[in-house]
A and B are shown apart, each in its own frame.
Chain A
Amino acid sequence: MRGFIVRRLLLLLPTILAIIFIVFFVTSLTPGSPGRIILGPNAEQVNVDAINHELGFDKPFYARYVDYVINVFKGDLGKTYFTNKPVIDEIISRFPVTFNLAVYSLFFSCIIGIPLGVFSAVKQYSIIDYLGTTLAILLAVVPTFWFALVLILFFSLELKMLPSSGASSSLHYVMPVIVTALPAIASILRMTRTTMLETIRSDYVRTARAKGINENKVVWYHAFKNALLPVVTIIGMNFGFTIGGTVITESIFSLPGLGLLTINSIRNKDIPQVMGIVLFFSLLFLLIMLLIDILYAYLDPRIKATYDAKEETAIRKGTFFKRSIRRIKRLV
């Protein structure tokens, strides 16, 4: 298992290189040079060129790419064009807001979506089930921005209960969390219901019932544990979506998180900042996916077995490789 994790971590490396390349390539297609963006359209060409030279923009593409990669691995994502602060510092200062938003909404969507999904499946075709599935469809089709505006109208303008912008207190998070949690609730509920319907009919759940154990134990310990795998995947993907989706939520509620930073940087053509954020999001997503794969192994012993088997073949191949080298050495 440890070997599996190490191998997956090592595999992150080429993935990251590829991501950097794509990000770098796409942003380099945008018109304009950094000097022009920083100094504005009225600046002298000489000054523009000087800044371009200072930033290494006059070097060829591949050289800039290599420079960037080296810097990334040093932990340096460059400086923003506008505040001239390190990109990484901006990201780190903004991240907690986004992270809180994502974690809270995910937390609530799990504690609401999972039990609702389980109950819908256990009591299939009951009122709970119909309500649950209707709710899920409704939540899935209502657009986030519209719902956010309705909430602001109601809670901020009418009732004056909740602040509509900023992040200075936990009250500020209430509406953004609701808005991001709802679509996640919908997808988690539906996935839980579907997989539970499948497992609850399975033979081993019938075996569990035949043992005469408590029905709650049958549902949660036997059926739900086996239904958890796809649910965990959906939760992980929702975490990714939530973090990406904060772009909309944060700009509506003026939450100073990474989403808002993204929008502003794109507006300002602050290319290093945009690249930094994209890279950061990608890395986060990769890590979450890795985490899910590791979780898989803990949830399903069969998957763990395949991981371990792969590890074993890898080790066997390794010794084979070493043995061959030893043989070659002996010959030489």
Chain B
Amino acid sequence: MSNLLEIKDLHVVYKTREEHVFALNGIHLELQKGETLGIVGETGAGKTTIALAVMQLLARTAVITSGSIQYDSQELIGASQRELQKVRGRKIAMIFQDPMTSLNPTMTVGAQVEEMVRAHDLENLSDLEIDKKVRKIFKAVEIHHRRRKEFPHNFSGGMKQRVVIAMALACSPELIIADEPTTALDVTVQSQVLRLMNDLKVKLNTSMIMITHDLGIVAKSCDRVAIMYAGEIVETGKLEEVFDKSLAHHPYTTGLFKAIPDLYSKCDRLVPIQGVASDPTDLPDGCNFSLRCNQCMDICREVDPIVNSYGNLKIKCHYLEQEYKGGNCDEQSTNRNKKT
């Protein structure tokens, strides 16, 4: 099966007058049709930057220094406005991180959804049919269609987020990029919104990139997971394997799981990862995680590690490479029970 989305060696730098922020440092990602990929990482890891790079909506200060982003074998980097207009909304839709500011305050929510429908209306629908479609979309996100005529300031955060989701779903895109779609919401609404998105995803068979720093959400909705640290993907793999504590993981992944409570094993105290997130304006030589890593070796401070496969997991780490003799051990059994 060919990949729907393929990101290769993506480097993005935010260049401001004072400093250069190295937000993405060689991202490789693949996504297949119908698949949901979770991107996990702490704040500032560059998750939103990946999403915006795919949409080609990066801020003016951002420079893509190298790499390629192919959607359905179409290169998006350097694509013309006209080509991008056909991709955005219709093929790839994005749910933005902050629902409070992502809606136009001077347009009714209905008009904003309708605009999306009209922008990609290939069948030349009549006004009545468009109205019907908009009504259906509102029904799908459980907002009464009568509230379509209202402005975003009349809506609560959760409702705004639903409108943003409604907009993203309006043209049944092939890929949805959801950038922390539930961070702004409280827990009950959060699960509602997630269920809603899952339902719609199943109904329309869309692929999805779910960006979050909540491992619980990942566990509920993703097929595959990519763990990000300081502009790099340090580990990718199937959901069950990344979550499988009996397999060997990147020290950062291990740290992440130690920092959240586990329902099944009792522990008195959570272990946070030591130190603070690496400064993307001043990344260390060698491995970006070396400053905080509890397995750090000399080589880690000098040489940037390469990505190796450990079973189905792909991990970028010197320590594992040494531990498992060059990595490429394909039998999963050798990995088991060696390292948690």
Q: Name A residues whose Cβ lies closer than 8 Å to a Cβ of B.
A: 124, 201-215, 222, 225-226, 299-302, 305
Question: For A215, what are the chain B residues with a Cβ–Cβ distance below 8 Å?
Answer: 81, 85
A202 CA to B164 CA in the complex, in Å? 15
User: What CA separation (Å) do A208 and B107 show in the bound complex?
Assistant: 11
Q: What 1/0 flags go to B102-135 for Cβ under 8 Å of A?
A: 1111110000000110011000000000000000
**B89 at the A interface (CB under 8 A):** yes
B105, B115, B154: the one contacting A211 at CB < 8 Å is B115
- Name which of B33-41, B90-98, B196-204 contacts chain A: B90-98
Interfacial chain A residues near B96, Cβ < 8 Å: 203, 206-207, 210
CB-based nearest B residue for A300: B106
Which residues of B have CB within 8 Å of A206? 57, 96, 102
Does B105 contact A204, Cβ atoms closer than 8 Å?
Answer: yes
Least CB separation from B91: chain A residue? A212
Q: Counting CB contacts under 8 A, is B263 at the interface?
A: no
Partner of B88, one of A209, A225, A300, A301: A209
Which residues of chain A come closer than 8 Å to B120, judged between CB atoms? 212
State A202–B96 Cα separation when bound (angstroms): 12
Residues of B near A207 (CB, < 8 A) are: 96, 102-104, 164, 167
Provide the residues of chain A in CB contact with B115, threshold 8 Å: 208, 211, 213
A interface, over-half SS: helix
Minimum CB–CB distance from A217 to chain B (whole Å) comes to 8
- Place the interface of chain B in its size category: 20 to 34
Given contacts A203-B98, A208-B104, A212-B88, contact A302 B57 (CB under 8 A): no
A205 to B151, CA, bound (A): 16
Chain B residue with the shortest CB-CB distance to A229 = B106
Residues in A whose Cβ lies below 8 Å from that of B116: 211, 213
Give 26 pairs: A residue, B residue, CB < 8 Å, sorted on A. A203-B96, A203-B102, A204-B103, A204-B105, A206-B57, A207-B164, A210-B55, A210-B57, A210-B93, A210-B94, A211-B115, A211-B167, A212-B87, A212-B88, A212-B90, A212-B119, A213-B85, A213-B115, A214-B119, A215-B85, A222-B104, A225-B106, A300-B105, A301-B106, A305-B151, A305-B154
Tell me the minimal C-beta distance from B305 to chain A in angstroms.
Answer: 35
B21 at the interface (CB under 8 A from A): no
Taking a contact as CB atoms under 8 Å apart, the answer to whether A203 and B101 are in contact is yes
* Smallest CB gap from B104: residue in A: A204
Docked-complex contact B86 and A212, CB < 8 angstroms? yes
Complex CA distance for A305 and B90, rounded to whole angstroms? 34
The contact of B119 among A213, A226, A299, A305, by CB within 8 Å, is: A213
Collect the chain B residues with CB atoms within 8 Å of residue A212's CB: 84-90, 119-120
Please tell me if the beta carbons of B151 and A302 are within 8 angstroms of each other in the complex: yes
Using CB atoms and an 8 Å cutoff, list the residues of chain B in contact with chain A.
Answer: 55, 57, 59-60, 81, 84-90, 93-94, 96, 98, 101-107, 115-116, 119-120, 151, 153-154, 164, 167
Residue among A206, A210, A300, A301 having the largest count of chain B Cβ atoms under 10 Å: A210
Interface centre among B86, B105, B120 (most CB of A within 10 A): B105
Beyond A213-B89, A301-B106: 13 further Cβ-contacts under 8 Å?
Answer: A124-B60, A201-B59, A204-B102, A205-B104, A206-B102, A207-B96, A207-B103, A211-B167, A212-B89, A213-B85, A213-B119, A225-B106, A301-B151
> Which residues of B are found within 8 Å of A201, using beta-carbon distances?
59-60
Q: Tell me the minimal C-beta distance from A80 to chain B in angstroms.
A: 49
Q: How far is the CB of A121 from chain B (nearest CB, A)?
A: 12
Q: How far is the CA of A213 from the CA of B101 in the complex (A)?
A: 19
CA distance A214 to B119 in the complex (A): 8
Most chain B beta carbons < 10 A, residue from A124, A209, A226: A209
In the complex, residue of chain A having the shortest beta-carbon distance to the beta carbon of B98: A203
- A-chain residues with CB within 8 Å of residue B107 when the two chains form the complex: 222
Residues of A within 8 A of B167 (CB): 207, 211
CA distance A55 to B129 in the complex (A): 74
Question: Which A residues are CB-close (under 8 A) to B86?
Answer: 212
